[in-house]
Amino acid sequence: MFENYKTPKELIPSDPRFGCGPSLIPVDFLEKLAATGPNLLGTSHRKPAVKNLVKEVQEGLTKFFNVPSDYLVVLGNGGATFFFDMIALGLVDKKAAHFTCGEFSSKWFKASKDVPWIDAQEIKSEYGDGVRAENIADADLVAVTLNETSTGVQLESLPTVDADTLLCVDATSGAGQIRCDISKTDVFFFSPQKVFASEGGLFVAFMSPKALKRAAEIEKRSDRYIPGIMSFDAAISNSEKNQTYNTPSISTLFFLNEQVKLMNEFGGYEKACEYADKKAQLLYSWAEEKPYLSCYVAESKYRSRAVATIDVDDKYNAEDIIAAFTKEGTVNGIDAYRKLGKNQFRISMFHNVKFEDLEKLTKMISLAIES
């Protein structure tokens, strides 16, 4: 249907990457990394060059997110998926309550459910529906996902939990451009390959004094085996020294640091959220306006400001449009989440994806369909 489609020159985006992770890493970050020559890559993470980089990342994130001074910015290898298991083994006392609404929040729930001594409760929203997170009286840990990357559903507000309950937020694809008061969370964690324009394999977690205390208490218990690589004590004590427990990917730290600097220079968290709001407004109003498109997430307050999911009328095959763009090399990464199986575009609005490029993308899709 779209074999003869050709994007007019003036509509070609400045960068073809609209994927929801790994996300667009600016090319000048690569040049900056190359310019470090022999002074960074291939040097020890126990020595000043890398330790200073980790420190800069920790300080830059603290400034950006206004992380309270008694919280610790903890970094380690493994990414958010690994951190799901660390939380299950090292932070859940007896019961974890998980609010799920898609693939990633379900995966996190499974990480708790698979631990024999954890009583894991799932409070499930149907895919595409919003999440009304709340305190669960007998849970000692409440798990919520700031932005469900598979469906494009974002959390509307954080629940207030009991004084001895930990509120843990998987912020992997929302951190940095969806508003969240860190002081209301106990563990706010993410992988940096989304808004923070880096690569995978790292987790970043802001931990409250309450979370640090729980981690220390659980680790002391003789009845619980925690593999060394998953030890909070190891992650925390190394982060306090601007290090990671085992060898990190230095390029990942470098790109993350560049992006944190860029976003602080952009004006900080609120300005980044405003930019995200503007892009979301563009995409969702386009989807509402065109008769052949609709927003997958029905209620606008739950529509993500980071990942837009837009359904296409079954008369047109989104995959064919994507194939036409791929063939000419103008756009990539806008396929629906593979397991969702929808005739849909899933479009990243991450910070480095420019408003002007999203505008061009909307015109490209409309042109493909309308002609």
Ligand X SMILES: Cc1ncc(COP(=O)(O)O)c(C=O)c1O
Strands 202-207 and 72-77: antiparallel
If the CB atoms of residues 199 and 311 are measured against ligand X, the closer one turns out to be 199
Beta carbon of residue 59, minimum distance to ligand X (angstroms, whole number)? 23
Beta carbon of residue 103, minimum distance to ligand X (angstroms, whole number)? 8
* Three state DSSP letters for 198-249: CCCCEEEEEECHHHHHHHHHHHHCCCCCCCHHHCHHHHHHHHHCCCCCCCCC
Beta carbon of residue 104, minimum distance to ligand X (angstroms, whole number)? 4
If the CB atoms of residues 77 and 294 are measured against ligand X, the closer one turns out to be 77
Query: Could you give the 3-state DSSP secondary structure of residue 309?
Result: strand
Beta carbon of residue 3, minimum distance to ligand X (angstroms, whole number)? 32
Q: Report the alpha-carbon distance of residue 141 to residue 121 in Å, rounded.
A: 10
Q: Report the alpha-carbon distance of residue 112 to residue 120 in Å, rounded.
A: 6
The CA-CA-CA angle for residues 356, 362, 366, to 5°, reads: 145
Beta carbon of residue 147, minimum distance to ligand X (angstroms, whole number)? 6
If the CB atoms of residues 100 and 243 are measured against ligand X, the closer one turns out to be 100
Which amino acid would we find at residue 128? G
If the CB atoms of residues 58 and 348 are measured against ligand X, the closer one turns out to be 348
If the CB atoms of residues 196 and 275 are measured against ligand X, the closer one turns out to be 196
If the CB atoms of residues 185 and 191 are measured against ligand X, the closer one turns out to be 191
Element (H, E) at 142: strand 141-145
If the CB atoms of residues 79 and 176 are measured against ligand X, the closer one turns out to be 79
Beta carbon of residue 78, minimum distance to ligand X (angstroms, whole number)? 7
Question: DSSP letter at 22?
Answer: S
Per-residue b or e along 323-362, where b marks 16 or more CB atoms closer than 10 Å to that residue's CB: ebbbeeebbebbbbbeebebebbbbbbbbbbeeebbbbbb
If the CB atoms of residues 155 and 358 are measured against ligand X, the closer one turns out to be 155
If the CB atoms of residues 13 and 79 are measured against ligand X, the closer one turns out to be 79
Query: Could you give the 3-state DSSP secondary structure of residue 153?
Result: strand
Residues ≥6 apart with Cβ < 8 Å to 322: 331, 334, 335, 345
**Closest among 79, 252, 243 to 170, alpha carbons compared:** 79
Beta carbon of residue 367, minimum distance to ligand X (angstroms, whole number)? 30
> In the structure encoding, which two tokens stand for residue 188, read together?
């706010």
Position of minimal CB gap to ligand X: 79
2 bridge partner residues: none
Q: Report the alpha-carbon distance of residue 296 to residue 153 in Å, rounded.
A: 9
**Site of interaction with ligand X (CB under 6 A):** 21, 79-81, 104, 145, 149, 170, 172-173, 191, 200
Total number of residues shown for the chain: 371
CB 326 within 8 A of CB 152: no
Beta carbon of residue 80, minimum distance to ligand X (angstroms, whole number)? 4
Q: Report the alpha-carbon distance of residue 53 to residue 12 in Å, rounded.
A: 36
